[in-house]
Chain A
Amino acid sequence: DAMVIQNPRYQVTQFGKPVTLSCSQTLNHNVMYWYQQKSSQAPKLLFHYYDKDFNNEADTPDNFQSRRPNTSFCFLDIRSPGLGDAAMYLCATSREGGYEQYFGPGTRLTVT
């Protein structure tokens, strides 16, 4: 089945220690998104890639970076995680011009 895969499902990192979350897709979708979701809150879009074009949300902290080396993979790098960055991170994809987003299961990040 075509799908969106996120690894790891659970990640524990120390305060200030860089961490990378990964996302891969077998849907061959042009667009990939990263969302941050804190408990009982709406998923918040951090940025998205339209093919290789990177689009940052205005309020996404500089601490968050992303890489998309090819169509299938996208990475979220948190350069210096703070306690406030503990959250569920959701990756999603969509077709060019499509309207449905397909989500991965998420990575729950804990910062100690």
Chain B
Amino acid sequence: DQQVKQNSPSLSVQEGRISILNCDYTNSMFDYFLWYKKYPAEGPTFLISISSIKDKNEDGRFTVFLNKSAKHLSLHIVPSQPGDSAVYFCAASRNFNNNDMRFGAGTRLTVKP
């Protein structure tokens, strides 16, 4: 039962343009959402998060938007850089308790120079 879904396995964007990565979830009990970034041969690293009391969180070039009614979140990267090329995982958990965090399958972002 996949509770977190990233329906686009890959995304290709030109350098300088916006990258939008999408994530859908099915469990309405999720109230904390995270994005992780993974380079080849490395473990995922935390990128940005958002709690369900907000609908937007921004950190530099990265912004996460949460639409609770649609059970949808997205990660915007503006402007995209070649160094952003990686696999991005969406994750969700309940009650700030990440002991039951669920991950999506990831989206591979390629930013072309």
Residue positions of A touching B, CB distance < 8 A? 4, 31, 33, 35, 40-45, 48, 50, 55, 90, 92, 94, 97-106
Interface pair A41/B105, CB less than 8 Å apart: yes
Interface pair A45/B101, CB less than 8 Å apart: yes
Q: How far is the CB of A52 from chain B (nearest CB, A)?
A: 15
Interface pair A55/B43, CB less than 8 Å apart: no
Q: How far is the CB of A108 from chain B (nearest CB, A)?
A: 10
Interface pair B2/A101, CB less than 8 Å apart: no
A97 to B45, CA, bound (A): 18
Partner of B106, one of A42, A48, A103: A42
A55 to B99, CA, bound (A): 9
A105 to B14, CA, bound (A): 28
**B30: Cβ under 8 A from any A Cβ:** no
Interface pair A40/B99, CB less than 8 Å apart: no
A13 to B60, CA, bound (A): 44
Interface pair A99/B49, CB less than 8 Å apart: yes
**B89: Cβ under 8 A from any A Cβ:** yes
A40 to B87, CA, bound (A): 10
Give the interface residue-count category, chain B: 20 to 34
Report A-chain residues with C-beta under 8 Å of the C-beta of B2: 42
Interface pair A100/B34, CB less than 8 Å apart: yes
Q: How far is the CB of B43 from chain A (nearest CB, A)?
A: 3
Interface pair A99/B96, CB less than 8 Å apart: yes
Report B-chain residues with C-beta under 8 Å of the C-beta of A33: 99
Partner of B43, one of A44, A97, A100, A104: A104
Partner of B98, one of A35, A101, A103: A101
Interface pair A40/B105, CB less than 8 Å apart: yes
Q: How far is the CB of B26 from chain A (nearest CB, A)?
A: 13
- Which residue of A has the minimal Cβ distance to B41? A105
Report B-chain residues with C-beta under 8 Å of the C-beta of A105: 41-43
- Which residue of B has the minimal Cβ distance to A88? B43
A19 to B106, CA, bound (A): 28
